[in-house]
Structures are given as structure tokens and as C-alpha cells.
Amino acid sequence: MKLENTLMEALGIEVISLDKNRVELTMPVDGRTHQPAGYLHGGANVALAETAASVGAFAHVDNEKMNVFGIEINANHIKSKRDGVVTAKAVPLHIGRTTMVWEIKIVDEQDNLICISRCTIGIVPKK
């Protein structure tokens, strides 16, 4: 998996665990991920959530033949955060031939829910 010169690198996202049925990624809550008032940006949560779903989906396909792309995502931002680290915990709800649906819970260091998201991934043959 390429991390250099990607959004993952820019936001400081790191892979903690990668299994076909559970992905955990962390992201710092700092200047890279803040909105102007100094809180974790909702868009950073969404980027973390879609990254977790995409990484998990990638583990389910033959990456020589298929690409995976996020095609829909929603997010409910439950709690704000100023600093520290958040962890995305992603599990598949549906694994199909052409789509996957993942649920992603983003939590703080005490496992408090910060954001919950659902992401639909498209599975597309490489040309």
C-alpha cells in the first residue's frame, strides 16, 4: 500500500491493524486535522472513515485485477475533540461482487464515540 504523497501521509493516518473483516487506523488531532476554531475537522473524520473502508475493501479483492473506490459516505459527528489521537474501527456490513458497505466508528483514547460513518465502496475492474 502506497502511503507516500497521499492524503494518508498528509493527515498522519497510520495503519494499526488490517484484517479483511476489521481495520483500525489512527489519525492525530492537530494542526493538520483541525478546523479554524481548533477542533477536529468533520472532513478529516470523513477522510479517515473512507480510508479505513477502502483499505478494508482492498483486502477483499484481487488488487491485480480490481480497484476499489468510495462511492457514497455519510457521517454523524457525535463529539468534538481538540487534541490527541482518534482511531477508526471499520467492519464490513456487506461484501458483494460489485459493492461493499462498511461501518466505521471513530473513537478517542477512552473509546468515546467521536463519529460514526457508513461508506459504500465500488469494486471496479482495472482496464
Tens digit of each residue's pLDDT (9 = 90 or more) over 64-80: 999 999 999 999 999 99
How confident is the model over 109-124, as pLDDT tens digits? Answer: 999 999 999 999 999 9
Mean pLDDT of 26-35: 98
Enzyme catalytic residues: 50
Q: What is the pLDDT of residue 2?
A: 65
DSSP string over 95-109: E-SSEEEEEEEEE-T
Task: List the domain boundaries for the chain.
Answer: 7-125
Question: Which pLDDT score is estimated for 91?
Answer: 98
Q: What angle do CA 54, 120, 38 make, to 5 degrees?
A: 70
- Specify the amino acid at residue 112: N
Whether the per-residue pLDDT at 1 is higher than 70: the answer is no
CATH label, 7-125, candidates 3.40.50.300, 3.30.470.10, 3.30.450.30, 3.10.129.10: 3.10.129.10
CB atoms under 10 Å from CB of 19, counted, come to 10
pTM above 0.75, yes or no: yes
The predicted structure's pLDDT at residue 80: 97
